[in-house]
Chain A
């Protein structure tokens, strides 16, 4: 059991599945400019996953490739959070999903920039720039939804209710992660969560929307335990590689 490998998979799997979900909207955006904005974000995610899987493969040292890790693992071996599996839904939900994740990534990458692991720090530094933009873009939208029409406010409220109980799952630990914290390689997930809750509460105050009162949170993220959506996601994700092994363009 390699704690660093698990950790890298966790960060990479999040970006892979978030990217995969956003990719579903390619060509389906509400209008051209937002279609490109979303697909740009999806590509940012996939780029991050590529860098992280590359490093993970090196750490695992079994001669696997990025494709092996991304496409050929079993569902129980994926360590992404359940939030990533949520459907895109309407635009309020699509944007809110990216927003919640971008606050998490901003905090995570800011700390990982000074990780004792140089390679991880380098990936974090590069990715942080992308994530800052994701945060800017989605907060601008949420502010507009919250201050818009009755319909936009209702849709935003529904999106918050749909996604809120999955947000704690982003901060679930992988096996061996405590060791990494002690070595200064990865942050303490609890600290991240406190930070996240504080920033989101501040933002929601500025947007003019409420944090849900119900404190219930879904459990099981990052234990290989996924929502029902995950089967469908993996089906699309893995189809080509499993049907035509080693296919090339």
Chain B
């Protein structure tokens, strides 16, 4: 199976929502990756749109300095929009 590449799969459950990471598939070509993702990750109507990306192109925060990247955001309350009052008619904010 050495010719099979790893692909990351993202599924959008409803139009307008974000694509969420669903898992991975192994496939030799992008055509197959898309079809395999459809078979593996949408067989129970989990979604209506699929993105696949070769895993080798995913850049992740694995090797960074975690403290420098994430800790500073922890104590900055003024960055959160919690002091607005949202009118009742605004459903999705």
Contacts and interface: CB of A to CB of B under 8 A. Distances in A.
Interface of A: 31-34, 36-37, 40, 133, 136-137, 140, 144
Interface stretch (B13-21, B31-39, B77-85): B31-39
Contact of A31 (B26, B29, B39): B26
B4 A31 contact: yes
27 contacts: A31-B1, A31-B4, A31-B26, A32-B40, A33-B25, A33-B27, A33-B36, A33-B39, A33-B40, A34-B36, A36-B36, A36-B39, A36-B40, A36-B43, A37-B35, A37-B36, A37-B39, A40-B43, A136-B35, A137-B35, A140-B29, A140-B31, A140-B32, A140-B35, A144-B28, A144-B29, A144-B32
Given A36-B40, A144-B29, A144-B32, 7 more contacts: A31-B26, A33-B25, A36-B36, A36-B43, A37-B35, A40-B43, A144-B28
Interface of B: 1, 4, 25-29, 31-32, 35-36, 38-40, 43
A146 to B, nearest CB: 14
Residue in B27, B31, B39 with the greatest tally of chain A CB atoms within 10 Å: B39
Nearest to A141: B32
Q: DSSP class of A's interface residues: helix, strand, loop or mixed?
A: helix
A36 B44 CA distance: 13
B29 to A, nearest CB: 7
Contacts of B32: 140, 144
A240 to B, nearest CB: 25
Contact of B39 (A40, A140, A144): A40
A36 B29 CA distance: 17
Contacts of B35: 37, 136-137, 140
Contacts of A33: 25-27, 36, 39-40
Contacts of A34: 36
Contacts of B31: 140
Contacts of B25: 33
Nearest to B35: A137
B39 A32 contact: no
Nearest to A140: B31
A53 B44 CA distance: 24
Contacts of A36: 36, 39-40, 43
B37 to A, nearest CB: 8
Closest 6 CB pairs of A and B: A33-B36, A37-B39, A36-B39, A40-B39, A33-B25, A36-B40
A37 B27 CA distance: 12
